[in-house]
Copies of this chain bind each other. A is one copy, B any other.
Amino acid sequence: MATNTKDRILDSAELLFAQQGIASTSLRAITDHADVNLASVNYHFQSKDALVQAVLNRRLNPINQKRMELLHALLHRPDGVPPTVEEILEAFYRPVTEEAIKTRREGRPIVALIGRMYTEPGELLASQIRAMMSQVAAGYLDALSIALPGIPPPILFWRLQFSVGVLAHTFGAMHLIEGLARGRVNVNDSEDVLRQMIAFAAGGLRSPVQ
C-alpha cells in the first residue's frame, strides 16, 4: 500500500471502481478502504469526477505511451522489414495484457476497469477516452493500412474498432467468460489469452473483402 494519501486514494478508487463500477462506488467507500479522511479526496482531487479522470489517466497514459513506443519500434526496425499484422496487434494488445498480469500478481485485479471504460456512460468520460485513443487509433490505422494494402480504409477502420472490442470485452467481461467456460479454458493464463486474441483479430483483419 502506498504511503501518501493521494496514492492511497488512487489505489483504493481504482480497485473499487473495477469491482463495483464507478457510479456505485462512493467516496466514503474509497476513503474507508484507503484508511484516509473523507475530505482528503476533495482536497487532493477537487471532485469525484476529477478523481475518476485521475484514476484512468494514471493507468491508461502509460499503456498508450507503451503502445506508441512499440508501434514506433516496429515501423523503424534497423532491417527495414515492415511489421506483420500479428506484430501490430501484439503491440496494441500487450501493454494492456502486461497490466493485467502485473495487477493480478499484486492482488489488485483492476483490468476489468480498463475493459469497461469504453462503454461507461457519461460524456466527460467519453471525451477523455476519445482524446486518449484518437492518436493511438490513427497510428495503428496507418500501420495496418501498410500491412494490409488490399483492405479499403473504411473497412480497416471498422476492423480496428472490432479488434478493440475483442480486447475490451475479453478483459471487461472476464468474470462472465470464466463462468461460461466451466473449466474448458484457463482465463488466468494471460499469455495464452493474448495469443488467442492476436490470432483471432489477425484473421479478422485479413478477412477477404467480399
Contacts and interface: CB of A to CB of B under 8 A. Distances in A.
Instruction: Name, among A21, A157, A166, A208, the residue most crowded by chain B CB atoms within 10 Å (CB to CB).
Output: A166
Interface in A165-193: 165-170, 172-173, 175-177, 179-181, 184-185, 193
A179 B126 contact: yes
Instruction: Name, among A112, A173, A181, A205, the residue most crowded by chain B CB atoms within 10 Å (CB to CB).
Output: A173
Chain A interface main SS type:
helix
Contact of A200 (B19, B116, B126, B159): B159
Work out how many copies of this chain go into the complex: 2
Contacts of A165: 165-170, 173
Interface residues of A, number: 61
Contacts of A155: 196
29 contacts: A19-B121, A20-B122, A23-B23, A24-B122, A118-B172, A119-B168, A119-B173, A129-B176, A130-B176, A130-B180, A153-B184, A154-B185, A157-B181, A157-B184, A158-B185, A158-B196, A159-B196, A161-B173, A162-B170, A162-B197, A162-B200, A164-B169, A164-B173, A165-B170, A166-B169, A199-B210, A202-B207, A203-B203, A203-B205
